[in-house]
Structure 1
Amino acid sequence: MAVSGFEGFEKRLELRFSGDDPAAGGHGLRRLEFCKLEKVLHAVQCTVVSAVGNTRFDSYVLSESSLFVYPTRIIIKTCGTTHLLKSVRPLVDHAATLGLTLCGCRYTRGTFIFPDAQPYPHTTFKEEVLYLEENLPKNLSLRKAAVMGSKSCYKWHVFTACDDDAPAEEGGDGLFTVEICMTELDRVLAKNFFRRFNDGKTGDSAGVEMTDVTGIRSVNRNALICDYAFDPCGYSMNGVDGGRYSTVHVTPEDGFSYASFESVYANREEFLEGLQKVVKVFRPAALSVSTTCAAGREVWRGVAKAVEPLGLRVRSRAADEFPDAGTVVFQTFAARRK
């Protein structure tokens, strides 16, 4: 933990592999022994606190955020002062033993609240990119790194890499990814993410209570939810809905409060409805929304109109194209009172 407070902003890593086609019944990365996953997470400096899965993928709530394992894709989000990028090389090596080859990589994060507390290589985005360049296999020759939102104090850092033959993943199945970051949460609502002293509950049972009390369950009622409440405060949730995941993480302490929501959607209307529900749960004073979709799809349109009735106005908007990702649009919003 940082001396001045806990770093809520997550680092997000997504690795895609080819081989062991799930359409042909292959289980791919899901065949990895749990002890091997645990060893990777130990290097990252986090642990599994709860888990759930279905026929499509496995979902793990971590002591610092989330892990999702699909047959040919793995997504890790970690907050605090974790060493997320140390997972790249061992995951690629483990996948190789299963006959899988890395064909795509995507790394994203926001602007750290406590950047000076971050360990190498997360000290700067330049160091992170250099570390990725050195640890990714040579076949990932199409690479790009960019910092979006340069006119805003909230920036979005994106690195992607893929090989020449890798199919465009984002949007290939009609889905697109949404990453939402919120700071300066409403103080009254943030109190819902503190546990009562000596409440006699487990992290799992307290998590179920928080999911219901805060309204998080209403964001996607079709999802199977795996939730966990930390002691004395903090909350994490993974949602499993068919082949789609969603996740929420909350650091509620006043002075550095933070909450995030990430999910995949099939259409813009569903996304905008979910966005409004999430904002109502936390009522942040500052909000950023990043959408990643196939080139040509303008799923970002309507975001400003959706949050305006909730007291938020647009501050900045930036868009860019990335190999293996498509179009990334990063928008920031602030409460009108600011």
Structure 2
Amino acid sequence: MAVSGFEGFEKRLELQFSSNNDSVIDIGLRELDFKSLEHILHQVQCTVVSALGNKHFDSYVLSESSLFVYPNKIIIKTCGTTQLLKSVQPFIFHAETLNLRLIAIRYTRGSFIFPLAQPHPHTSFHEEVLYLEDNIPKYLCYRKASVIPSKLTSHSWHVFSAGILEFSDDVPYTVEVCMTDLDQTLARNFFRHPNDGKNGDSAGKDMTQITGINRINPNSIICDFAFDPCGYSMNGIDGDRYSTIHVTPEDGFSYASFECDGLYNDDVAEMVKKAVKVFGPGTVSVATTSAARDTCMRIKGVIEQIGMKSRSCMIDEFPAAGTVVFQTFTRKRI
């Protein structure tokens, strides 16, 4: 808990691994036992509250956001004052016990609402980069760290990536949406009624239905959880694809995020539009990593359709991650 309120903005870490043995990579990281995952999460300062999986990957809703475990990839994002980067070395160690080798890493986050409340190594982006440089293998030679600014808003996008090879465009792209100043009426949907007689799972399912989150991607199987007295998280599974939403609804520091991965022919823009409509935010930032330019333009178009004005579009290139396009939108003139 931050001094003035809860930090909604997540820190996100993606680790990719490879093996010379195809039979190893069929199961890969999914062979990690739950006790090992719990130990890593304890170092980060969060726990598992709900879980769901299919033949492609395992999904965990955390007390502070989400974890996805694929055979050759881990995605973990945590909010609040968690120490996400302390998971880097343990994940690498456990992967090595499974004969898996780290080949790429990407760390991203927005601008913290309460930066002074963050513990080491998250006290600044400079400190985070130094920590990453000290805790990843030297052979990840294609490295870059950058802060992508936003014109006219306080939102900035922080990116560190490293890999053994330059980026290849035959992988899914990632869309990360951060929303602040949520509509107060819509945000109230994410508060629980006192003594409602429900647990986190049943209350979460109610919130998913009431808000229309279940309609963002009707093909997804949703694992959701409602916190007490307020807050909400969900992971969606659609084949080998994931989506996730996290909500901190309190007035004064309200925040919601939506994230998904996509392929070129997907209409991810429509999912982004539906997600933004659920929350009615005052400010939206969208970071797309390695998406085609027309995908970014479609996202811009659908967000403008619901009454928001584009304020900024900044582009940066990362040798191990590809192109990052960072767009910001607001409801009112700044």
8 A Cα contact 1:194 1:233, kept in partner: yes
1:255 and 2:255 aligned: no
Structure 1 residues 28, 307: CA separation in 2 closer, same or farther (over 3 Å shift)? same
Amino acid corresponding to residue 154 of structure 2 in structure 1: C
Alpha-carbon spacing, 1:8–1:22, altered in 2? closer, same or farther (3 Å): farther
Matched, 1:330 2:330: no
Matched with 2:302 is: 306
Letter in 1 for 2:129: V
CA contact (8 A) 2:269 2:295 kept: no
- 2:253 is matched by which residue type in structure 1? F
Whole-Å separation in 1 of the counterparts to 2:22 and 2:207: 35
| 2:163 partner letter | C
Q: Percent of aligned pairs with the same residue?
A: 62
1:172 corresponds to: 170
Deviation, structure 1 residue 334: 0.5
> What letter is aligned with 1:302?
R
Q: Is the contact made by 1:225 and 1:240 (CA closer than 8 Å) also made in structure 2?
A: yes
1:81, CA displacement in angstroms? 0.1
Q: How does 1:149-160 map to 2 (within 5 A)?
A: 149=149, 151=151, 152-160=153-161
Q: Structure 1: which amino acid aligns with 2:160?
A: F
| Preserved contact between residue 142 and residue 166 of structure 2 (Cα < 8 Å) | no
What SS does the corresponding residue of 1:301 show, helix, strand or coil?
helix
2:58 counterpart residue number: 58
Q: Which residue number in structure 2 is paired with residue 223 of structure 1?
A: 220
Paired amino acid for 1:253: E
The 3 A distance-change label for structure 1 pair 23 and 162 is same
Unaligned runs of 5+ in 1: none
Q: Indicate the residue corresponding to 2:196 in structure 1.
A: 199
More displaced stretch, 276-285 vs 13-22? 13-22
Contact 1:22 1:72 in 2 (8 A): no
CA–CA distance in structure 2, aligned partners of residues 35 and 273 of structure 1: 38
C-alpha separation in 2, matches of 1:83 and 1:308: 35
Q: Is the 8 A contact 2:277 2:306 kept in 1?
A: yes
Shift of 1:297: 4.5
With over 3 angstroms needed to count, the CA separation of the structure-2 counterparts of 1:123 and 1:203, relative to structure 1, is same
In the alignment, what sits opposite 1:32? Answer: 32
**Deviating 4+ runs (over 4 angstroms):** 20-25
User: Aligned to 1:285, which of 282, 286, 289?
Assistant: 282
Unaligned 5+ residue runs, structure 2?
none
What amino acid maps onto 2:66 in structure 1?
S
1:307 deviates by: 1.4
Distance (Å, rounded) in 2 between the aligned partners of 1:123 and 1:244: 32
1:233-252 superposed matches below 5 A: 233-252=230-249
Q: How does 1:15-26 map to 2 (within 5 A)?
A: 15-19=15-19, 26=26
Change (3 A) 1:114 1:46: same
What is the CA distance between 1:304 and its match in structure 2? 2.5
TM-score, normalised via structure 2 length:
0.96
Amino acid aligned to 2:185:
V
Range 320-329 or range 252-261, more displaced? 320-329
The verdict on how the C-alpha distance between 1:127 and 1:309 changes in structure 2, with shifts beyond 3 A counting, is: same
Structure 1 residues 108 and 22, CA, compared in 2 at 3 Å: closer, same or farther?
Answer: farther
- The SS at the match of 1:253 is coil
1:124 corresponds in structure 2 to 124
Task: Say whether 1:188 aligns with 2:185.
Answer: yes
Structure 1 distance, partners of 2:120, 2:230, is 27
Aligned partners of 2:24 and 2:99 also within 8 Å: no
| Structure 2 CA distance for aligned equivalents of residues 293 and 161 of structure 1 | 15
AA aligned opposite 2:296: W
Offset of residue 105 of structure 1: 0.2
Name the structure 1 match of 2:89.
Answer: 89
The CA deviation at 1:323 is 2.2
TM-score when scaled to structure 1? 0.95
Instruction: Say if 2:210 is the partner of 1:210.
Output: no
Task: Name the counterpart of 1:318.
Answer: 314
Q: Distance in 2 between matches of 1:52 and 1:214?
A: 21
What is the RMSD computed on CA atoms of the aligned residues?
1.6
Q: Secondary structure at the match of 2:296?
A: coil
| Per-residue deviation, 1:324 | 2.3
For 1:280 and 1:21, the matched residues in 2 are separated by: 45
- SS of 2:26's partner is coil
How many angstroms apart in 1 are the aligned matches of 2:74 and 2:266?
27
Matched, 1:114 2:117: no
